[in-house]
């Protein structure tokens, strides 16, 4: 709590009322993240009782909502919503990259595709962590953010495909070998477990709970970041925009208080649910 107050205090001291804000995420990107974490929490909350169906909490939760029938209904509902969001995103990327010929989608400083700088940043960052070098200066997307993105991207394909293979097993059996029907459950549950453990521990800490952002990085909710934070967290992007003379175009008014408070509430709730699910997962995993 003291940290939080102090961080806020510092932000006021450093920024002051005249602090400038810069747009970092578009409305569509923020909505995509909102749909992603809402459906992810829903899928985790409905998937975990199935994965750990022998644990007491899973059975209690199931009995409260009407048993397996209700759980699988919501699991499929969230899955369909997430699939649609994923397809829209993929379509959007290809539209921008291939149709509109937008530069920097598939390669370059603003691309999600990993490059040599990311490899250097990873080792540089690790060296900095153990006190052997300076902190690397990150671009628009740091290497761990690209990893998050591709982990979700890969997870979406793997979990989605194996999930639909189970949902429509007789159909998939037309072109999948028999053992694949056994394998899809193993793949689905293990990959989902990895996603849950990763998001609810590593993503939460890396992005939201680490001292620089504690208790939450608001940028994905509000879309804007203060100049101070922007400069500290992504010096290379700031420099590049300034050099290209595009910094001014990114200036935005400070996020309104209602949006900040709403985002804080939603974000805190999401993190809380995630941490509860993480605790339940760990108890079931190590309890069995």
Partner 1 sequence: MKIRPAIALTLGASALLLLAAPRTARAQTDCLACHADAGLQDASGHSVGVDAPKFHSSIHSSLQCGDCHAAIKEYPHPDKVTPVECDTCHADEAAGLVGSVHASRAEHPCTSCHGNAHAIFPKTDPRSAVYPLNVPRTCGACHGNDAMAKQHGLNNVYPLYLDSIHGFALSKEGLLVAANCQSCHGSHHILSHKDPRSPTYKANVPETCGKCHAGITADYMGGVHGKAIAAGKMDAPVCSDCHTAHAIEQPTESAFRMQSTPICGNCHKDKFSTYRDTFHSQLGSLGGYVETARCWDCHKAHEILPASDPRSPINQANLVATCGRCHAGANVSFVQYQPHANARNRKLNPALYYTRLFMNLLLASVLTFFMIHTVLWLIRSRYHQIKTRSAKGGKNG
Q: Which residues bind partner 1 (CB under 8 A)?
A: 2, 6, 10, 49-51, 53-54, 58-59, 62-63, 66-72, 125-126, 128-131, 144, 151, 166, 169-171, 173-174, 176-179, 181-183, 185-187, 190-191, 193-194, 197-198, 201-202, 205-206, 210-212
Report how many helices (DSSP H) and strands (DSSP E) the chain contains, helices first. Answer: 12, 3
Least Cα distance to 16 among 203, 213, 256, 228 occurs for: 228
Closest separation in Å from C-beta 213 to partner 1:
9
Question: Could you tell me which residues are beta bridge partners of residue 21?
Answer: 226, 252
Closest separation in Å from C-beta 209 to partner 1:
8
Question: Which is nearer to partner 1, 14 or 248 (by Cβ)?
Answer: 14
Question: Which is nearer to partner 1, 178 or 253 (by Cβ)?
Answer: 178
Closest separation in Å from C-beta 94 to partner 1:
27
Closest separation in Å from C-beta 184 to partner 1:
9
Cβ neighbours of residue 230 under 8 Å, at least 6 residues apart? Answer: 22, 24, 237, 238
- What is d(CA 277, CA 52) in angstroms, rounded to the nearest whole number? 12
Q: Rounded to the nearest 10 degrees, how much is the dihedral formed by the CA atoms of 182, 184, 189, 195? A: 160
Closest separation in Å from C-beta 165 to partner 1:
11
Question: Which is nearer to partner 1, 13 or 244 (by Cβ)?
Answer: 13
Question: Which is nearer to partner 1, 35 or 62 (by Cβ)?
Answer: 62
Contact status, residue 49 vs residue 283, Cβ threshold 8 Å: no
């Amino acid at each position: 709590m003291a940290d939080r107050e102090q961080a806020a205090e510092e932000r006021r001291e450093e920024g002051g009322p005249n602090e400038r804000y810069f747009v970092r995420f578009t409305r569509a990107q923020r909505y995509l993240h909102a749909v992603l974490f809402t459906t992810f929490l829903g899928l985790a909350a409905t998937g975990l009782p199935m994965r750990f169906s022998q644990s007491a909490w899973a059975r209690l939760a199931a009995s409260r909502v009407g048993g397996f029938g209700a759980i699988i209904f919501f699991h499929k509902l969230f899955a369909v919503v997430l699939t649609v969001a994923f397809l829209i995103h993929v379509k959007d990327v290809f539209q921008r990259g291939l149709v509109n010929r937008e530069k920097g989608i598939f390669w370059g400083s603003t691309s999600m595709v990993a490059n040599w700088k990311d490899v250097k940043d990873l080792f540089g960052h690790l060296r900095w962590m153990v006190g052997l070098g300076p902190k690397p200066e990150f671009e628009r997307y740091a290497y761990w953010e690209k990893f998050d993105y591709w982990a979700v991207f890969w997870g979406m394909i793997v979990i989605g495909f194996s999930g639909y293979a189970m949902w429509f097993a007789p159909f998939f059996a037309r072109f999948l070998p028999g053992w694949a029907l056994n394998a899809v459950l193993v793949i689905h549950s293990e990959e989902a477990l990895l996603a849950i453990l990763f998001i609810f521990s590593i993503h939460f800490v890396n992005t939201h709970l680490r001292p620089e952002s504690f208790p939450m990085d608001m940028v994905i909710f509000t879309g804007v970041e203060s100049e101070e934070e922007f400069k500290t967290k992504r010096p290379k992007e700031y420099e590049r925009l300034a050099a290209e003379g595009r910094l001014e175009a990114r200036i935005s008014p400070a996020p309104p208080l209602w949006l900040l408070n709403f985002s804080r509430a939603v974000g805190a709730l999401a993190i809380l649910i995630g941490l509860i699910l993480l605790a339940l997962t760990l108890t079931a995993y190590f309890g069995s």
